[in-house]
Structure 1
Amino acid sequence: MFLDLDGNGPHYAQLTRALKGAILDGRMAAGVRLPPTRELAHQLELSRTTVLAAYEQLRAEGFINGRVGSGSYVARLQISPTLRGADSSPVPPASRYAGRARHLPHRGIGGMHRGLRYNLIYGDPVTNPALNAAWGRELARAAAYSSLGVAGSWGLLALRQQICDYLARRRGLLAQPENVLIVSGTQQAYALCARVLLDEGDTVVLEEPHYFGGYHALLAHGATLHAVRTDDDGLVCAELPEAAPKLISVTPSHQFPTGAVMSLPRRLELLRYAAQKRCWIIEDDYDGEFRYDGHPLAALRSLDEGDRVIYAGTFSKSLFGALRLGYVVLPAALRDDFNAAKYLSDMSSPGIEQAALAHFMESGGFERHLRHARKELQARREALIAGLHRHAGERVQIVHSPAGMHVVAWLDGYDQARADALVAHAHERGLGLHPMAPHYLSPPPRPGLLLGYCGLSVAELREAMQLFGECLDAVPPSGG
């Protein structure tokens, strides 16, 4: 008998799978006597104990029968043609959601650029060795003193209270703990908005350009996406659709990715529109902690008298991405629905990490870290901009935005093909550049780059900008 052992796991398990496959594909028909255990052990160079264990497993699963004094025989099974390999019928189709999600990128832009010497990727928080040590102490404390039970779908009350205190001080937003839901980052906030607020085909307004992660979550859910232009004052409210959308997604404190700040008249106009059209707004405040020309601006929700704004915040940018904790401040009418959706999604965000973060905030460690991070990020931002002026000159147009964790630079004189060639050449030289185009539904009017500066030191950023200038020399503008 020819049996091919697959080499995975214990020998008895390999032999069990091989015999089972021979039975299912018809090579060992019903009623056929299996070789004696000693004989099969000799053929396969296995121990008799291994063969006995495999036979016993097959007998327990009903694939073979034992006859006293006669041996073991293949049982009479009702095996379908599909199991025998005679039918290649397609598997049942997946859901429409799965079909849409399958074709979306799951690692965001920049994944292919990991490992480069100078990677100007957006989204990686500033490295702070002191934070690593402090967080280790907080985790140890939380593990020793916290309950090991499920934290509850709303999240720990202590953390929700600390978030409310922080938002009141820093973002001008008065919230109650019963309106705060702890989530696994901004991405889950968007996913919950889609589940709770949207049916397939419902219209969602996106800023143009926009955050690709939110776009993907909404698109996979089956939303009809309507892009509205942004300018230096944020979303152009005059171009909002006449027909009421279900949801509007905005980044008013620091438009992603252009860096524009939504003006007060635009904020009030957007809130009036939402009230008139009876639609919801999700305010994505992804990096509102980091402003370098004054205090952070008050949140859009702080102006919301109609209780139509869902405010989403995250600790992934202010602390570190691996934490995967964020929060949403909910309108009263949506509290129960969001809590139910969160419970069905994952029951609860990790409790020990929540307890550690709550104490970190209460003890002042969080704001001490923010002060350090803000100072370090400002120095890196200044180094990046100085390097652009020195090595790129008039070949790029820098968008002024004294906030956040990235800078946008438009490429003057480049068409998209030439810009793609520049990005590819930079990659070969060890410099990770990230185009603006993936953040648009329609191609942008000219090519641009989103230059993140969190992951590199001041010295590295100076070297990266010198290399960027060399890449511009090697791949000049179209017709240059």
Structure 2
Amino acid sequence: MNGPPWGRGLFLELDGRGPRHAQLTRALKEAIRNGRLPAHTRLPPTRELALSLGLSRSTALAAYEQLQAEGFLESRQGSGSFVAPQQMAPVPSKVPPAREVAPPSRYVTRLREGIDRAVGRRHYGLRYNLQYAEPLVQPGLAERWSKEIAHAAAYTDTDYPRTQGLPALREGICDYLARRRGVVASPDDVIIVNGAQQAYSLSARVLLDEGDRVALEDPHYFSSYQIMRVHGAEIVGVRTDEDGMVCDELPAEPARLVCVTPSHQFPGASLMSLPRRLQLIAYAEKHGSWIVEDDYDGELRFDGHPLAALRALDAASRVIYVGTFSKVLFPSLRLGYMVVPPALRDDFLAAKWLSDMASPAIEQAALAALIADGSFERFLRTGIKDLKLRRDTLLDGLRTHVGDRLELYDPPAGMHIVGWFRGLDEAQATRLVDHAASRGLGLHPMAPFYLDPPSRPGLLIGYAGMSCAEIREATRLFGSCLRELGL
């Protein structure tokens, strides 16, 4: 039976959430379920649908295939795709009152208090985005990675991977850490995780009960603060200065966990001094505390050799070392690693298994190959040179176009600098950020990283994701926005 032609007068609206093919699938499914596309309706060819909605044909094809797999469509050879008879009535015009929903868990309540703010902090679609943690685009990396992925896909065991991670990758990481970060570890101490954020989450699950005290640098990563808070921890912010965390201000009532970024305090610019490092380790030994050392960009140092990690001083095995490949390679890889004390190894493995069983094996195998043949460190060296050039371009541009409106702190490492406004209050800085976004420029305030608000407004300025030409244009636009607002 040839049903009525495709949607006479039917309006489809994509909801903007997620991939386009998923949006189209939801829109068609809703039209079928509420009766706007009745059973036996013939849908248009995918090319025609894609053209009418301004989408690619592959997007329309993916939506049709998904709906066919779920039983909403049926394909008739030579005739096209038709709405399948449904075993459900159309959605009634009057919906009965919903039953009272049970309140969510305390975990979910705490989660929702912070996650909307966290997700909303990123800008998308801006022409010039001075966003921290944008990927560093390196010529040749994408091509090399695609070859390693193809090879790994052909030769990697298709069974479930080991929870701890592929041995070849863990061995490569140990060799790299010993040479570059001064960390001597066995592959048995290494656990492959899905980025630093999972490392923080596993640390909270393994080490914390609700009400346990966690000491965080103030300022610190917004996501790590949220993870600890959502797990029910009592958060204690510890001030930072030019020598890193002020360890004299660690809580007298012992913290179960202390989270630090000693090799490059985030989001500030300081390096934790040796006396502070020894003081922190002594605190952990005395009180039975654990330390999470987030070495997020310790190897990205422009001047001199990278300093050894805090873990290299840890004779008492109180430090949980966290590393990531997001900065040197790209964030979408979602691979990182932990070096855990032997006493905690089995506990972390159990938590990792329960969380997701294991990290993807094919990506691990490709990464292990990059490390084994030296390509990873070659990309690292090239990346450091590129970052220094972009940082110098950014500083020159800000000094030329923004001038003394910003007091700049430019550490000799990493992918960002910090600028504190002179002569602007919080309301004026907020107006500037909003106006810049309307002009296609992403500026990102420092305040969200603080537990106690800073004394003046500032910006976290990332530069890895843009070329030098784009950075020059971004700083010019920054200056224009200041003048347009009369600031």
* Fold-level similarity (TM above 0.5): yes
* Alignment pair present for 1:439 and 2:467: no
Q: Any idea what the Cα deviations from partners look like across 1:3-25, whole Å, max 9, x if unmatched? A: x9524888389xxxxxxxxxxxx
Please point out which of 411, 419, 424 is paired with 1:401.
Answer: 411
* Letter paired with 2:292: I
Work out the CA distance in 2 between the residues paired with 1:404 and 1:317.
Answer: 9
Work out the CA distance in 2 between the residues paired with 1:260 and 1:189.
Answer: 23
1:32-431 residue pairs with structure 2 within 5 A? 88-105=98-115, 108=118, 112-431=122-441
Q: Any idea what the Cα deviations from partners look like across 1:318-373, whole Å, max 9, x if unmatched? A: 10111100000001111000000000000000001101100110011111111111
Structure 1 residue 391, shift from structure 2 partner:
1.5
* Letter paired with 2:381: R
Structure 1 residue 112, shift from structure 2 partner:
4.9
Q: Any idea what the Cα deviations from partners look like across 1:222-264, whole Å, max 9, x if unmatched? A: 1110000000000000111100011000000000000210000
Structure 1 residue 89, shift from structure 2 partner:
3.3
* Letter paired with 2:438: E
Work out the CA distance in 1 between the residues paired with 2:461 and 2:196.
Answer: 21
* Alignment pair present for 1:6 and 2:16: no
Structure 1 residue 400, shift from structure 2 partner:
3.1
Match of 1:43 in 2: none
* Letter paired with 2:324: T
Task: Go from structure 1 to structure 2 and tell me whether the alpha carbon gap of 1:203 and 1:413 turns closer, same or farther (over 3 Å shift).
Answer: same
**Secondary structure of the residue that 1:225 maps to in structure 2?**
strand
**Secondary structure of the residue that 1:292 maps to in structure 2?**
coil
Work out the CA distance in 2 between the residues paired with 1:52 and 1:465.
Answer: 56
Work out the CA distance in 2 between the residues paired with 1:307 and 1:51.
Answer: 63
Task: Single out whichever of 224-233 and 212-221 deviates more from structure 2.
Answer: 212-221
Work out the CA distance in 2 between the residues paired with 1:303 and 1:210.
Answer: 23
Task: Go from structure 1 to structure 2 and tell me whether the alpha carbon gap of 1:107 and 1:297 turns closer, same or farther (over 3 Å shift).
Answer: farther
Work out the CA distance in 2 between the residues paired with 1:359 and 1:437.
Answer: 41
* Letter paired with 1:391: H
**Secondary structure of the residue that 2:393 maps to in structure 1?**
helix
Work out the CA distance in 1 between the residues paired with 2:191 and 2:363.
Answer: 15
CA contact (8 A) 2:178 2:184 kept: yes
**Secondary structure of the residue that 2:114 maps to in structure 1?**
coil
**Secondary structure of the residue that 1:11 maps to in structure 2?**
coil
Structure 1 residue 414, shift from structure 2 partner:
1.1
Work out the CA distance in 2 between the residues paired with 1:52 and 1:301.
Answer: 61
Task: Go from structure 1 to structure 2 and tell me whether the alpha carbon gap of 1:12 and 1:279 turns closer, same or farther (over 3 Å shift).
Answer: farther
CA contact (8 A) 1:110 1:121 kept: no
Work out the CA distance in 2 between the residues paired with 1:343 and 1:242.
Answer: 35
* Letter paired with 2:291: I
CA contact (8 A) 2:263 2:309 kept: yes
Hey, which bits of structure 1, 4+ residues long, moved more than 3 A?
A: 7-10, 50-54, 84-89, 106-112
Structure 1 residue 129, shift from structure 2 partner:
3.3
Work out the CA distance in 2 between the residues paired with 1:459 and 1:145.
Answer: 41
CA contact (8 A) 1:286 1:317 kept: yes
* Letter paired with 2:221: Y
Structure 1 residue 101, shift from structure 2 partner:
0.8
Match of 1:72 in 2: none
Root-mean-square deviation (CA), in Å? 2.3
**Secondary structure of the residue that 2:461 maps to in structure 1?**
strand
* Letter paired with 1:158: A
Task: Go from structure 1 to structure 2 and tell me whether the alpha carbon gap of 1:448 and 1:111 turns closer, same or farther (over 3 Å shift).
Answer: closer
Work out the CA distance in 2 between the residues paired with 1:301 and 1:380.
Answer: 30
Task: Single out whichever of 180-189 and 111-120 deviates more from structure 2.
Answer: 111-120
* Letter paired with 2:237: A
**Secondary structure of the residue that 1:129 maps to in structure 2?**
coil
- Rg comparison, structure with higher value: 1
CA contact (8 A) 1:164 1:176 kept: yes
Structure 1 residue 179, shift from structure 2 partner:
0.5
Work out the CA distance in 2 between the residues paired with 1:167 and 1:107.
Answer: 35
Could you list the runs of 5+ residues in structure 1 that have no partner in the other structure?
14-49, 64-83
Q: Any idea what the Cα deviations from partners look like across 1:274-327, whole Å, max 9, x if unmatched? A: 111110000001111211011111000000011000000001111011110000
Task: Single out whichever of 306-315 and 461-470 deviates more from structure 2.
Answer: 461-470
Structure 1 residue 145, shift from structure 2 partner:
1.2
Task: Go from structure 1 to structure 2 and tell me whether the alpha carbon gap of 1:166 and 1:106 turns closer, same or farther (over 3 Å shift).
Answer: farther
Structure 1 residue 473, shift from structure 2 partner:
2.3
Task: Go from structure 1 to structure 2 and tell me whether the alpha carbon gap of 1:388 and 1:51 turns closer, same or farther (over 3 Å shift).
Answer: closer
Match of 1:467 in 2: 477
Work out the CA distance in 2 between the residues paired with 1:85 and 1:471.
Answer: 50
Work out the CA distance in 2 between the residues paired with 1:110 and 1:117.
Answer: 18
Work out the CA distance in 2 between the residues paired with 1:261 and 1:181.
Answer: 26
Q: Percent sequence identity over matched residues?
A: 56
Match of 1:455 in 2: 465
**Secondary structure of the residue that 1:134 maps to in structure 2?**
helix
CA contact (8 A) 2:39 2:85 kept: no
* Letter paired with 1:223: A
